[in-house]
Each structure stands twice: as structure tokens, then as C-alpha cells.
Amino acid sequence: MNAVTDVKIERPGVWRSRLLLGVSVLAAVVLAVWLYAQQDMIRQYAAYGYAGIFAVSALGNATVVIPAPSFVVVTAVGVLLNPVWAGIAAGTGAAIGESTAYWIGRNARGILPQLASERAQKLAGLMERRSGVILFLLGAIPNPVVDIGGMIAGASGLAFWRFLLPTGLGKSVRFVGVIWVAGWLV
């Protein structure tokens, strides 16, 4: 063994990227715990109509992987308002909230080459080519994978607006549909 070959050479910025990733994940977890503890406060936002729906949706979707109780509140208040405008407010807020996953991925870019697998490279390439369709569908179809899609979008270097726009449109379509169906059932 040669001491020179045993030395691990780190690229500049790897520690900075790791620190930013750790801070981003910690902030998302703290936000999730805080939102869970503040469920009554979230319900009070609903009294503010469309702005309340936007705020509740943004806060509820800012958690990464850990669900927050915003979906039910947004739907319950949305049936009392115009479902299209309520859905757009909720979808816009949700897309802004989902940007936490995007920024976690963006901050992980410096360490990704160490973690890159063939599958991760394929996903990043697919995200670059078909980001609009993928993010729209992830936003429109209720699923927990939307956070992972946001992380991949950020990690692949996708421009923020290319993440935000299709995610917001997809989530708006979903919320309009859910609020409309809920209003029809009530």
C-alpha cells in the first residue's frame, strides 16, 4: 500500500454542499414538526379565503416527505369559494411549498457525483428532457413522489421556473378537481 494512493481527494465545495444539504433537510424537518404542532393555527388561515388557502397550501407542502394536514383544510375551505380560484390559489401555494424539495436537490448537487448511479443519471437525463410533463403529472396526481421529483429537478440543475411552473399547473389542476368533486358531494 502506498500512502499517496490511500489519500481521498475531495473536490472543492463538497463540504459546502454537504453543509447546505444538511441545513436544508434539518429546516424541512423542523418545519414539519412545527406545522404538526400548529394545526389549529393552520385552520385559522382558512378564514382568510383565497389568501388563506394559498398560505395553508404553501406551508403544508413545504414539508419534505412528511405530510402536513393542509390538504383537508384547503379542500374544506375551497368548497365554500369558487373552486377554480381556490384550486389555483392552492396549487400556486403548493408549488411554492414544494420548492423546498427542489432546493434540497439543488444544494445536493456538489455531492451527487459521489452518489451517482446509472439509474440516477438516467433520471436526471429524463428530467432534463421531459421536466414539464413529469413535473406536471407529479403535481396533478396525488402521490408522495412529487418531493423526489423536486429533488431530482434541483439536483439536475433544472432552472427554478422550469420546476415551479409545471408543478404549479399540475397541483392547480388537481386542487380544482378535488375541490369541485368535494363541492358536488356536499
Q: Which residues have a Cβ under 8 Å from the Cβ of 94 and sit 6 or more positions away?
A: 57, 58, 60, 61, 139, 167, 168, 171, 175
pLDDT attached to residue 7:
44
pLDDT in tens, 46-57: 578 899 899 989
- What's the chain's Rg over C-alpha atoms? 19
Domain boundaries, the chain: 14-185
For residues 101-127, average pLDDT: 73
Across 11-33, average pLDDT: 68
pTM above 0.75, yes or no: no
Q: What is the pLDDT of residue 159?
A: 93
Q: What pLDDT is attached to residue 140?
A: 93
Q: Are 144 and 71 in contact (CB under 8 A)?
A: no
**pLDDT band for position 120 (cuts 50, 70, 90):** low
Output 91 or 108, whichever has higher pLDDT.
Answer: 91
100 or 128, higher pLDDT: 100
Say which range, 69-78, 83-92, 124-133, has the weakest mean pLDDT: 69-78
- Report pLDDT for 139: 92
| Minimum mean pLDDT range among 4-18, 23-37, 62-76, 92-106 | 4-18
